[in-house]
Every structure is written in C-alpha cells, then in structure tokens.
C-alpha cells in the first residue's frame, strides 16, 4: 500500500520529466546559492496548466502537514522573484522561466496569484527548506562590500586586461607604501 508521500513523490517525478533542462537537476525544488551572488534555480516551464498543478500540490501539502511545505516554499520564493513583468523577462533571458503565455505580465500575475490565501511561517527552518537560502540572499543583498564588488566586477572588470591592470596597480601601490615606510624608518635610524 502506497503512502501519501510516495504518491506525491511519484507525481513530482512524472512532472519533473517535462520540467527538466539540459543541466542535470534532481528536482525542481533544488534552489541554492553559490558563490557571492549566484542563485542556481532549475528551469520552470510555465503554461496555463502550471498554476493549477502547483496549486494542487500546495493544497496537498496544506492538507497533509507531515508532507512538509517544500512546494509551497518554492512557490512563495518564485512569486517573490517573478513579481513584475521585468523580473519575468530577466528570468526568461536567464532560462530560469520558459513560458508559453501571451506576455511576461501574464506570468507575473500568475505568480502573484499563486500564493493567495496560502500561509507558511518563512522563519521556521524545520518547515521551510529555503529559509537558509533566503537569509543568505538577504544578508548578501544588504552587504555594501559585496554590492561594491559585484558592481566593480560587472561594470569595470568585465574585460580581463582591465582586471590585470587593476591588479598591477594595486601591487604597485602596496610596493610604494612599503617603500615609504622603510624610507621613513631608515631616515629615523
């Protein structure tokens, strides 16, 4: 006799065959933060049936608390990421969302409506598997040092020759400082 969890897993596996990308992804829910600012999110194919499918999985999780709330947490995460048509356009260009809807606004509205009436404690790490990822993303978003490094890398260091020139300038500056310190010490001695 199959348990409810086994049925849910088999449903997810059947659905995942259509949602897989060329990258080897174990599950649509495999969201992770790599490096300083890289969020790895598997591709989600969005059509008219996607919203119904995700809502049914969230309803199943709400009715069976022992299943956890992984799909609900993922849907809330994606609704935050794809809140506007501009966000959807960016996610589509990055191949995170592949949609067959009329326009990006339709996808954004679908994500906005997806979690209406759904409640989940986002701070509960036992129930929300993305809680750690959300906290890391929030810390990195609010970190001035990381934001400056990302801005420097994207705007000025995209050319490797400029990066090498900057490194050479930093090394030359450090050598000048060391030389000045030893010159002052030698003058006093």
> What DSSP string runs through 50-112?
HHHHHHHHHHHHHH-GGG-SHHHHHHHHHHHHT-SHHHHHHHHHTTSEEE-SSSHHHHHHHHH
What share of the chain has pLDDT > 70, as a percent?
80
CA distance 15 to 32: 21
pLDDT of res. 24: 52
At residue 153 the predicted structure's pLDDT band, cuts being 50, 70 and 90, is: confident
Q: Is the pLDDT of residue 53 over 60?
A: yes
| pLDDT tens column, 56-81 | 988 888 888 788 788 888 888 888 88
- Whether 2 shows a pLDDT value over 70: the answer reads no
Q: Is the pLDDT of residue 172 over 90?
A: yes
Give the distance from CA 178 to its chain's centroid: 43
Mean pLDDT across the stretch 22-40? 66
In this prediction, residue 25 has a pLDDT band, given cuts at 50, 70 and 90, of low
Query: Which residue is associated with the tokens 């260009």?
Result: 93
**pLDDT tens readout for residues 114-140:** 888 777 766 666 667 777 777 777 777
pTM of the model: 0.64
| Cβ within 8 Å of residue 161, ≥6 positions away | none
């Amino acid at each position: 006799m199959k348990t409810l969890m086994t049925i849910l897993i088999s449903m997810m596996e059947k659905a995942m065959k259509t949602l897989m990308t060329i990258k080897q992804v174990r599950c649509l829910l495999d969201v992770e933060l790599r490096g300083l600012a890289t969020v790895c999110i598997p591709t989600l194919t969005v059509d008219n049936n996607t919203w119904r499918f995700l809502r049914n999985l969230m309803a199943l999780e709400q009715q069976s608390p022992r299943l956890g709330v992984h799909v609900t947490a993922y849907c809330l995460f994606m609704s935050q990421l794809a809140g506007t048509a501009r966000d959807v356009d960016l996610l589509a260009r990055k191949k995170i969302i592949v949609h067959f809807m009329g326009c990006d606004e339709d996808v954004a509205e679908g994500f906005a409506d997806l979690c209406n009436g759904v409640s989940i404690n986002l701070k509960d790490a036992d129930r929300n598997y993305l809680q750690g990822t959300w906290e890391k993303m929030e810390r990195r978003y609010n970190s001035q040092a990381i934001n400056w490094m990302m801005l420097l890398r994207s705007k000025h260091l995209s050319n490797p020759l400029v990066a090498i020139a900057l490194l050479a300038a930093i090394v030359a500056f450090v050598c000048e400082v060391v030389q000045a310190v030893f010159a002052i010490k030698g003058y006093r001695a």
